[in-house]
Chains A and B, each alone.
Chain A
Amino acid sequence: MDQRDASVPTISRIGPFRASIATFGALIGSGFRRYATYRQATIAGTFTNIVFGFLRCYVLLAVAATAAGQRPAGYTAEQLATYVWVGQGLLAVIGLWGWTELADRIRSGDIAADLLRPVPPLAGFLAADLGRALHGMLTRFAPPLLAGAVFFPLHTPTRWQTVPLFAVSVVLAVVISFGCRFVVNASAYWLQDARGPITLWTLSAGVLGGLYFPLRLLPVELTVALWVATPLPSLLQTPLDVIAERDGPALQAGLVALQVVWAVLILALGALVQRRAERRLVVQGG
């Protein structure tokens, strides 16, 4: 047994605030270690990210070759290549797909054990997800970017603030992605089987998040509406537009500010849904 597992402080002399910070940190660490266990799956996932990177990159470059002014939706060919390859690297960090833990625990009744813990489910799952994202950042981000840089000319950021802004944008995207997945999974409190909503999420997050093609290719009004009315473009499109320097510094910062709004909104919604659910929850199982 790892000794650290038993040392999560919940009641301590060091004050409640520092104790909850320590607990949150310990949960992030455990989330990180959990994903660090699956080394072969990490390699397998990276391979797939790179194959899809080649696919999407070639398609978008073919569009750029014949587009008006060779700048489809205002991106140069280099910016498009950066968009694709950074996107493939971020995919595992943001973690759009495959998280059904909460829905599974509601379905099986295991959620009862989570409700007994001194950490609310939203905070507990968020910490674990941040640990997962940290692991993704350290292992899954660089290889696709490297593959892209070897085979395609990429756009190098020219403004000093682009990279720090990108880092902030990625953290916000992880939080928004988690919040969305939490709410989607929480539909299992009412539906028992959340597979439908989860499929719907998987679908819309990929297309309307900006993974399959940059959303700027859509009509302007539609792009703006998506950005303002849904959290989806804040998942991938914003960090990718920031690193590809698609817009000027002011608009870049504005898009990240919009992410802050969505992060707060979606976490508040998650907390509200959880409170409502706890009031009507009937634990499954006998």
Chain B
Amino acid sequence: MGELRAYAALGAAQVRSATAYRTSFVVELFANMGATVFDVLAVLVLFRATPALGGFSLAEAMLITGLSAAGFTLADFAVGNVDHLKSLVRAGTLDAVLVRPLGALPQLLLMDLPIRKALRVVFGFAVLGLAVAANDIDWTPARVLLLVVAPVAAAVFFGSIFVSSASLAFWWVDSGEVGAAFTYGGRDFTSYPMSVFGGWFRGLFAYALGFAFVAYQPALALLGVPDPLGLPAWSGFLSPLVALGAAAFAAGVWRAGIRHYRSTGS
């Protein structure tokens, strides 16, 4: 109970500090939502020039983008600020987090809870909702369940990517932007049908790293469209399993990283 109260206090302090500069906070709230708005608009702009992208119509592509946006915004809101880890490791200030009698990861997440990102989560799910309405989906109980589970699985998957790529800083302090290739890169990658990409690049990101199962395969399963790349119809239902695998991996990397952390010398 005491622990929960401590976490609540950390969170409440964040709300107070975020709203201290009101103008800036409101601008940030909308600017952050704007980032996701523009991601979705980018897909619409591409469809101005072509009737189909990678063999998918606008409505079908929007379902993929919507699943990706809903999952990513939720993950970014909940754990995205684990990004700050590299500055804590560099300065050695992670010590302060480790000596407190609370979990290191939850503390880090609540130390800068990004309330400014709340509005974009709403937008991400709105896009998903509109995309579902725009497609003529043949509803079965399995598909309804998938629609509920898939965004959550996508969020767990992206959350795991956030934690694993931030943990890189434990071994490589100057890893800088490498993490962004997988977090923001992963968001952009999952926003499009996998048939758009080619060669070893698709093999690596889509299947070796599992990004195909975030939005593309679940969207195919919802639409009942066969995969032009040849995976069976049920592979969309694998998305929660892939997400759990990613979460287990992230947990392992995080624990190993915390054990590896030696603070700074000065």
Complex contacts, A38 vs chain B, CB 8 Å:
174, 176
CA distance A151 to B198 in the complex (A): 11
Total residues of chain B contacting the partner, CB 8 A:
41
Asked whether any CB of chain B lies closer than 8 Å to the CB of A207, the reply is yes
Shortest C-beta distance, B169 to chain A (Å), equals 11
Contacts of A196 in B (CB 8 A): 23-28, 31
Pick from B31, B48, B54: contact of A200, CB under 8 Å: B31
Q: Contact partner of B176 among A41, A197, A212, CB < 8 A? A: A41
Let me know if B49 and A212 touch, CB within 8 A: no
Determine if B24 and A195 form an interchain contact, defined as CB atoms under 8 angstroms apart: yes
A213 within 8 A of B: yes
Given contacts A48-B180, A54-B201, A62-B196, contact A191 B28 (CB under 8 A): no
B42–A207 touching, CB < 8 Å: yes
Chain B residues within 8 Å of A52, by CB: 181, 185, 188
Check if A66 sits within 8 Å of B50, measured CB to CB: yes
Distance in Å from the Cβ of A54 to the closest Cβ of chain B?
5
Which B166-204 residues have C-beta < 8 A from chain A?
A: 172, 174-178, 180-181, 185, 188-189, 192, 195-199, 201
**A264 at the binding interface (Cβ < 8 Å):** no
Question: In the bound complex, do residue A40 and residue B176 qualify as a contact, i.e. CB atoms below 8 Å apart?
Answer: yes
**In the bound complex, do residue B175 and residue A44 qualify as a contact, i.e. CB atoms below 8 Å apart?**
yes
Interface string of A118-138 (1 = CB under 8 A from B): 000000000000000000000
A192 in contact (CB, < 8 A): yes
Whether, in the assembled complex, B234 has its beta carbon less than 8 Å from a beta carbon of chain A, the answer is no
Q: How far is the CB of A158 from chain B (nearest CB, A)?
A: 24
Q: Are A212 and B53 in contact (CB under 8 A)?
A: no
User: Are B25 and A44 closer than 8 Å at their CB atoms?
Assistant: no
* Chain B residues whose CB sits within 8 angstroms of the CB of A51 once the complex forms: 181, 185
Shortest B34–chain A CB gap in Å is 5
Q: Is B51 an interface residue (CB 8 A)?
A: yes
Taking a contact as CB atoms under 8 Å apart, the answer to whether A58 and B177 are in contact is no
A59: Cβ under 8 A from any B Cβ: yes
A67 touches B24 (CB 8 A): no
User: A45 and B189: CB pair below 8 A?
Assistant: no
A218 within 8 A of B: yes
User: Which of B31, B32, B41, B50 is in CB contact (< 8 Å) with A67?
Assistant: B50
In the bound assembly, the distance between CA atoms of A89 and B178 in angstroms comes to: 16
A261 interface residue per 8 A CB criterion: no
- Residues of chain B within 8 A (CB-CB) of A68 are 49-50
Q: List A residues 186-214 near B (Cβ within 8 Å).
A: 191-197, 199-200, 202-203, 206-207, 212-213
Find chain B residues with CB under 8 A from A60 CB.
Answer: 46
**Inter-chain contacts of A200 with B (CB < 8 A):** 27, 31, 34
Q: Kindly identify, within residues 29 to 62 of chain A, every residue whose CB is under 8 Å from any CB belonging to chain B.
A: 38, 40-41, 44-45, 47-48, 51-52, 54-56, 58-60, 62
> With A58-B196, A58-B197 known to touch, is A63 a contact of B35 (CB < 8 Å)?
no
Interface string of B13-45 (1 = CB under 8 A from A): 000000001011111100110110010011001
CB pair B176 A213 closer than 8 Å: no
Contacts of B50 in A (CB 8 A): 62-63, 66-68, 72
| Cβ–Cβ < 8 Å partners of A258 in chain B | none
Q: Does A217 lie at the interface of the complex (its beta carbon under 8 Å from any beta carbon of B)? A: yes
Task: Kindly state whether residue A112 has any CB partner on chain B within 8 Å.
Answer: no
For residue A171, give the distance in angstroms from its CB to the closest CB of chain B. Answer: 24
Contact A212 B38 (CB under 8 A): yes
Which residues of A lie under 8 Å from residue B195 when comparing CB positions? 62
Contacts of A48 in B (CB 8 A): 177-178, 180-181, 185
Asked if A226 lies at the interface with its beta carbon under 8 angstroms from chain B, I say: no
**B201 lies within 8 A of A191 (CB):** no
Closest to B199 in A: A151
Question: Are B49 and A40 in contact, with the CB atoms below 8 A?
Answer: no
Contacts of B25 in A (CB 8 A): 196
Verify B201–A44 contact, CB threshold 8 A: no
A sample of 9 cross-chain residue pairs with beta-carbon separation below 8 angstroms, ordered by A number, consists of A38-B174, A40-B174, A47-B181, A59-B53, A191-B21, A193-B24, A194-B24, A197-B27, A200-B34
- List of 3 A-B pairs having minimum Cβ-Cβ separation, nearest first: A196-B27, A40-B174, A72-B49
**16 additional contacts (CB under 8 A) given A199-B31, A207-B42:** A40-B175, A45-B177, A55-B185, A56-B188, A59-B192, A60-B46, A62-B196, A63-B50, A151-B199, A193-B24, A196-B23, A196-B31, A212-B42, A217-B49, A218-B45, A218-B48
